[in-house]
Amino acid sequence: METFRQVSPPDREVTDPHDLGGDGFGPLKGLRILELGTLIAGPFAGRLLADLGAEVIKVEHPLRLDPLREWGHARYRGRALWWPVQTRNKRCVTLDLASERGRTLLLELVARSDAVLENFKPGTLEKWELGYDRLAEANPGIVLVRISGYGQTGPYADRPAFGSVAEAMGGLRYLNGFPGGPPPRMGISIGDSLAAMFAVQGLLAAVYARDRDPRGLGQVVDVSLLEACFSLLESAVPEYDRLGIVREASGTGLRGIAPSNIFRSKDGAWVVIAANQDALFRRLCAAMDEPELADDPRFSTHVNRGEHQQELERIVAAWAQQHDAAEIDAVLTAAGVVCGPIYSVAEIFSDPHYAAREMLVEHVDSELGAFVGPGIVPKFSGTPGSVRWSGPWRPGSDNGEVFGELLGLSEEELAELDARGVV
């Protein structure tokens, strides 16, 4: 079965790749972060911080580059399209951290930075003699954010992990899918992305704590993919603890929450209709020209609707099948009922709200030309983030700027380090 379909995207003219709009001013301007991670969780956290104005310096090994450069099933002009988005707004350098000179240069960068972000297997930094104690010697105020599968401690700390396994052992997969069926994954790496967002939260909280500490000391922020997934289980934990309830997969809706599900329209599209609160349900009944349902004893309260969920959803489904998706959306929105169509990315591109909110932002790449990537979240009224440049393709593209201007190395020294494979 195909997992993607291709449509014809709009043509775009190539403009100056350095003129993407935005002046680089954002709420995190002045914060310098060293990103040592690869693939998804670490680089995504770095991207979120860079989007908001932080100076993020991405460090790659000169010979073993981030696999994200080639990640993804589709190619445009021979290149993967995730790299230039995930690496946007970052400065990219190469550095062999296993070498003595590479470690020295990293520690010089640490002395001039606020935080280090890494998502290696626990013990990797220590193997390179770059554990937190050594980083703190170079900069007592440094914040070290560590993302791993199971955390830096505990019996599973050394166990290899991917986001897919964290989603499974963190409880998310068990709740996904239909009763009695295999627990499917989402079509994205949700476990890694959740951990990245917790990493950003932890980094900013640790910097805030350091800046309030008279001693100005940093600390370690330990983020586990497993725990990031587990944290989203809502009430499942106390329900099991006090009542012995094991929440199960519930398909397209939630057990006891009705009507709140997807319903198929006359033209074959799927629409979410969520009217499980009393006032919303009364509005839905009026919009369906069945106002009497709101006073029906089976449906008059939230609890009663949950007890008669299947019966009620059949009524709503029968109404939805008489109308096209656009009509359902228009009628229910006008009535104040929560609803919305299920979009593919193609439909997102045609929705005016995404454009009005600047969530489809043009990137201009030196090799790919102009393409659209996701916008900045969240929005700031006074210090908005921006897409300032697309992720660079040339390994070590910013070596001269970072090692030369920031650390004061000469061109001759850089050339010598390059010849030795240090950068």
Give the three-class secondary structure for 257: coil
Tens digit of each residue's pLDDT (9 = 90 or more) over 116-131? 999 999 999 999 999 9
Q: What CATH number corresponds to the domain at position 268?
A: 3.30.1540.10
Cα separation, 196 vs 207, whole angstroms: 16
Is there a single domain that holds both residue 81 and residue 221? yes
Identify any residues that bridge with 117 across adjacent strands, giving them in sequence order. 35, 145
26 is a domain residue: no
Is there a single domain that holds both residue 180 and residue 271? no
352 is a domain residue: no
* Mean pLDDT of the 98-103 span: 96
Q: How many CB atoms lie within 10 A of CB 26?
A: 23
CB hemisphere CA count around 283 (13 angstroms): 17
| pLDDT at position 274 over 50 | yes
Is there a single domain that holds both residue 139 and residue 182? yes
Provide DSSP, 65-79: --GGGG-SS--BTTB
64 is a domain residue: yes
252 is a domain residue: no
Going by C-beta distance under 8 Å and a sequence separation of 6 or more, which residues neighbour residue 283?
275, 335, 336, 337
Cα separation, 421 vs 418, whole angstroms: 5
Q: Residue 29, class by beta-carbon neighbours within 10 Å (0-12 exposed, 13-18 middle, 19+ buried)?
A: middle
Is there a single domain that holds both residue 188 and residue 97? yes
Is there a single domain that holds both residue 72 and residue 178? yes
* Mean pLDDT of the 98-105 span: 97
If pLDDT is split at 50, 70 and 90, which confidence band does 263 have?
very high
Asked which of 73-82, 141-150, 291-300, 385-394 is least confident by mean pLDDT, the reply is 73-82
Rg (Cα) of the chain, in Å, rounded?
25
Cα separation, 45 vs 43, whole angstroms: 5
Is there a single domain that holds both residue 136 and residue 196? yes
pLDDT at 400: 96
Q: Please count the structural domains in the chain.
A: 2
Provide DSSP, 165-226: HHHHHTTHHHHSS-TTS--PPPSS-HHHHHHHHHHHHHHHHHHHHHHHSTT----EEEEEHH
pLDDT at 39: 94
| pLDDT at position 5 over 80 | no
Is there a single domain that holds both residue 190 and residue 300? no
CB 340 within 8 A of CB 272: yes
48 is a domain residue: yes
pLDDT at 74: 87
**DSSP H helix total and E strand total for the chain:** 18, 11
Is there a single domain that holds both residue 37 and residue 184? yes
If pLDDT is split at 50, 70 and 90, which confidence band does 23 have?
very low
Percent of the chain with pLDDT over 90: 93
What Å distances lie between residue 368 and 89, 349, 363, CA to CA? Answer: 16, 19, 9
CB 341 within 8 A of CB 264: no
Cite the active site residues.
192
| pLDDT at position 48 over 60 | yes
**How confident is the prediction for the chain on average, in pLDDT?**
93
pLDDT at 9: 45
Is there a single domain that holds both residue 315 and residue 270? yes
10 is a domain residue: no
**Could you list the residue range(s) of the whole structural domain that residue 284 is in?**
260-341
- Output the CA torsion 8→12→17→18 (10° steps): -120
| pLDDT at position 15 over 90 | no
CB 271 within 8 A of CB 198: no
5 vs 150: which has the higher pLDDT: 150
CB 362 within 8 A of CB 12: yes
185 is a domain residue: yes
Percent of the chain with pLDDT over 70: 94
Is there a single domain that holds both residue 220 and residue 364? yes
Q: What CATH number corresponds to the domain at position 222?
A: 3.40.50.10540
Is there a single domain that holds both residue 218 and residue 149? yes
* Mean pLDDT of the 20-24 span: 42
pLDDT at 72: 83
If pLDDT is split at 50, 70 and 90, which confidence band does 96 have?
very high
Is there a single domain that holds both residue 223 and residue 363? yes
404 is a domain residue: yes
Identify any residues that bridge with 213 across adjacent strands, giving them in sequence order. none
| pLDDT at position 423 over 70 | yes
- Output the CA torsion 70→386→191→372 (10° steps): -50
pLDDT at 73: 80
